Chains A and B, each alone.
Chain A
Amino acid sequence: MTVYTKSSSADLLPPVSSVGVIGWVRQNLFSSVGSSLMSLCALYLLYMTVPPAINWAFIDADWFGMDRDACTSGGACWVFVTVRINQFLFGFYPSSEYWRVVLAFSIAGILVAWLLVDRAPYKGFVGLITLVVYPIVAYFLFYGGLGLEVVETHKWGGLMLTLILATIGMVCALPLGIILALGRRSSMPIAKSFSVIFIEFWRGVPLITVLFMSSVMLPIFMPEEMQIDKLLRALIGIIFFQSAYMAEVVRGGLQAIPKASMRRLRPWDFLTGSR
C-alpha cells in the first residue's frame, strides 16, 4: 500500500502555453481563428498609423523658433504654440494685467481645494466666501475697477474665457435646474406646465441657435437704454440652456428615490404646497 506524501513528487508547472506572456497572448489575442484574424488586422492597422503619427508629432517636429521659417523638418510645427502660448491662455487680455487672471484662478483653486479636503476646518465659512465674496473679488480682478485698469470683455479669450464661461454656467445652472426639476415633479398644474415648456424648449434647440438668439434678440427684448454686454448675453443663453439639461438630470435622480421614502419625507412641501 502506497501512502501519498506531499514530497513524493514535485508539483508540475502549468504548461508554458497557458501562463506568462505566451499564455496571455494566446488567451487574449489568438483564442480562435476569428479572434486571430481580427488581432492581425488590428496590429496591421496600428503599424500603418501609429509610427507615422509619432514621427510627425515628435521626431520630425520643430519645437523652438520665432515664426514659420523655423519649421524646416517637415513634421509638426509646434513653434506657433510656443510663440502664442499667451494668446491660447489669455486671448487679447493686456499682458501687463495677466497677474490678475492668475491671481483670480489661484484663489479659486485654493478655495475649491479647501472645500474638497475632507477634514479641513471652517468649511461652512469657506463655502460662504467661495459663493458670495469670491465672485465679487473675481469680477473686479477680471474686469477691473476699484483702481484696477478696466479690461473690456471683448479682449478676454483663450482658456481663461473657457474656464470663466464654464464655471459661471455650471454654478448658475445648477440651482435653476433644481428648481425646474422640482417644478416638473410638482402637483401644481401651472407650475408643472411652465417647467415642462421651459425644459423642452431649451432642450429642443441647438446651443448655437441659442447663442445666436441671445446675441441678436436680447438687445431687442430689452429697453434701449439697457445695453447688455456681449459676453453676458452669451452667458445668459448658456445658463438657460444648461439649466434645462441639469433639470432633467436632477429629475432622474429624484425619480430613483422609491415613492415610499418620498412620502415619509417631503422637505419641499412648503414649495409645492401639496399634502
Chain B
Amino acid sequence: MGQTEQKQSWWNNGQNRALVFQVVLTLAVVLFFWYIINNTLLNMEKRGIATGFGFLSQAAGFGIIQHLVAYDETYSFGRTFLVGLLNTLLVAVIGIVFATIIGLVVGVARLSSNWLISTLAAVYIEVFRNIPLLLQIFFWYFAVLRGLPLPRGSWEVNESFFMNIRGLYIPRPIFESGFSWVIWAVVLAFVVAFVIRRWARRRQAETGQQFNSTLAGLGVILILPLTVFFAVGSPLSWEVPVLKGFNFKGGMVVIPELTALVVALSIYTGAFIAEIVRSGILAVSHGQTEAALSLGLRPRRVLSLVVIPQALRVIIPQQTSQYLNLVKNSSLATAIGYPDLVSVFAGTTLNQTGQAMEVIAMTMGVYLFISLTISALMNWYNKKKMLIER
C-alpha cells in the first residue's frame, strides 16, 4: 500500500480537518452562550430583576383547585412547584395506564377477523390520530363535560357515584386501624407468588414437570389479603358524597379538568399505541405461529411463548416514545386550566414573580428529567427483551 505513504498536505489530513472543525464549533458555541448570558445579565440589571432562587420561599398567595399535598395561599412558591409537579405526574400515570389498555384492546381488535370490529377499530384509530390533541382536549372539556347537568340533576350510579358539571364525585375510602395488616398481607402475597414462580420454573427445568404458577400466584394474591382483611374485622369503610345545598359534600371529587385531560390523552395516545401493537403482532411472521402449532403448543401458549415475546421487541421502543409524548402532551393542560406544572408554575408563579429564567429552567428541567428517566428505564427493559445476537 504505497499510496498511503504519499505526502499529504496538512489540510488534506482528515484528523487535522476534524480538529479544526471541532475547535471552530466549540468556539462558536461558547461565544453564542457568552453572548446570550451577557445580554441576559444586562437585561435583568436594567429591569431590576434579581436573579436567584430566593423567590421560592416567598408566600404564593394564590389558590390551586387540585392539590395532592397540603396547600393553601400561605404556602410558598416552592410548594406550588411541588403541587404542579404532582398534578402532572398524576395525569401522566393515569393516562399511561388507560392509553395502554385502550391501545392493546384496539390494536388486537384491528386485527380481528370480524369485519365490523376491525373496521370500527380502524375508524377509531384514524379519527383520533389525525385530530390535534389540543382540539380533542377542548372537545371533552367544553363540549362534553360543560354540557353535563347541574349538581341537582347529577347522573348517579348506585347513589354513591355522581357525575355533574362540577366533576365526578366518588366515595372516599376510610382506612381504620388494622388496615396496615392487609397491606402487609398484600406484600407477603406478592413475595409468595414470586417464590412459587421461581420454584415452578426451576422444577420444570430440572424434571420437566409443569406447575401452573400463574394460577397459584393469582390465587395467593387474591386469597391471602382477603382472608387477613376479614380476619381483622374489615377495617375499611366508605364516605359517600351527599348532596347538601347546591353541591356535594364528602367523598372524593375528580375535577372536570382532570377528567377531560385524562380522557383526551388516553384516547389520543391509545390510537397510536394500537397501531404500534398491531405492527408488533404483524412483525412476527405467520411461519413462527405455524411452527409452534405443529410442535403441539396450544394456541394460548403459542401466543404467550412465541408471538408476544417477539412482538414486544418491536413494540417497546415505539411504546417508550408514546409514553414520553403523553407526559409532554399533558402540559396542554394549561389550555383548560388544569393545575399542572406548566399551568401553575410556569403560568401563575411566573406571572407573579417575574422570575422567567429560573421558572422556565426548572420547568424544562423537570420534563427533561422525567423524559430521560422513562427512556433510561425503557432502554433497560428493551435490552433485557432484545434478541441476543451472537
Q: Which A residues contact B (CB, under 8 angstroms)? A: 28-29, 31, 35, 38-39, 42-43, 46, 187-191, 194, 200-201, 203-209, 212-213, 216-217, 219-224, 269, 271-275
Q: Is the CB of A194 within 8 A of B29?
A: yes
Q: Is the CB of A206 within 8 A of B328?
A: yes
B286-294, B302-310, B363-371: which lies at the A interface? B363-371
Point out the residue from B22, B115, B324, B356 that lies within 8 Å of A191, measured CB to CB: B22
Taking the closest CB of chain B, its distance from the CB of A146, in whole angstroms, is: 32
Point out the residue from B21, B334, B364 that lies within 8 Å of A205, measured CB to CB: B364
Task: Pick 25 A–B contacts, CB within 8 A, sort by A.
Answer: A28-B114, A29-B115, A35-B112, A35-B113, A38-B117, A46-B120, A188-B18, A188-B22, A190-B26, A191-B22, A203-B371, A205-B371, A206-B329, A206-B330, A206-B342, A208-B332, A208-B342, A209-B342, A213-B360, A213-B364, A217-B357, A220-B39, A273-B21, A274-B14, A275-B14
Q: Is the CB of A273 within 8 A of B116?
A: no
Number of interface residues of B (CB under 8 A): 43
CB within 8 Å of A: which of B117-135? 117, 120
Considering the complex, give the chain B residue whose CB is closest to the CB of A223.
B39
B40-48, B71-79, B144-152, B159-167: which lies at the A interface? B40-48
Q: Is the CB of A224 within 8 A of B43?
A: yes
A204 contacts across to B, CB distance below 8 A: 324, 367-368, 371-372
Taking the closest CB of chain B, its distance from the CB of A212, in whole angstroms, is: 6
Within 8 Å of chain A (Cβ to Cβ): is B15?
yes
Within 8 Å of chain A (Cβ to Cβ): is B187?
no
Of residues A39, A220, A272, which shows the largest number of chain B Cβ atoms within 10 Å of its Cβ?
A220
Tell me the number of A-to-B contacts counted with CB atoms below 8 Å: 110
Q: Is the CB of A212 within 8 A of B117?
A: no
- What are the 8 tightest A-B residue pairs by CB atom distance, in nearest-first order? A273-B18, A28-B115, A206-B328, A204-B371, A273-B17, A206-B331, A204-B368, A190-B22
17 A-B pairs besides A206-B332, A208-B342 with CB distance below 8 A are: A28-B114, A28-B116, A39-B114, A39-B116, A39-B117, A187-B18, A189-B22, A209-B346, A209-B360, A209-B364, A216-B360, A217-B356, A219-B43, A220-B39, A220-B43, A271-B21, A274-B18
B contact face: mostly helix, strand, loop, or mixed: helix
Q: Is the CB of A206 within 8 A of B22?
A: no
Q: Which B residues contact A (CB, under 8 angstroms)? A: 14-18, 21-22, 25-26, 29, 36, 39-40, 42-44, 46, 112-117, 120, 324, 328-332, 334, 342, 346, 350, 356-357, 360, 363-364, 367-368, 371-372
A contact face: mostly helix, strand, loop, or mixed: helix
A190 contacts across to B, CB distance below 8 A: 22, 25-26
Considering the complex, give the chain A residue whose CB is closest to the CB of B20.
A273
B14 contacts across to A, CB distance below 8 A: 269, 273-275
Distance of A269 Cα from B330 Cα, bound (Å): 42
Point out the residue from B17, B117, B363 that lies within 8 Å of A42, measured CB to CB: B117
**A204-B367, A206-B329 known; A31 vs B342 contact (CB < 8 Å):** no
Considering the complex, give the chain B residue whose CB is closest to the CB of A207.
B328
Point out the residue from A35, A223, A271 that lies within 8 Å of B114, measured CB to CB: A35
A200 contacts across to B, CB distance below 8 A: 372
Distance of A130 Cα from B372 Cα, bound (Å): 40
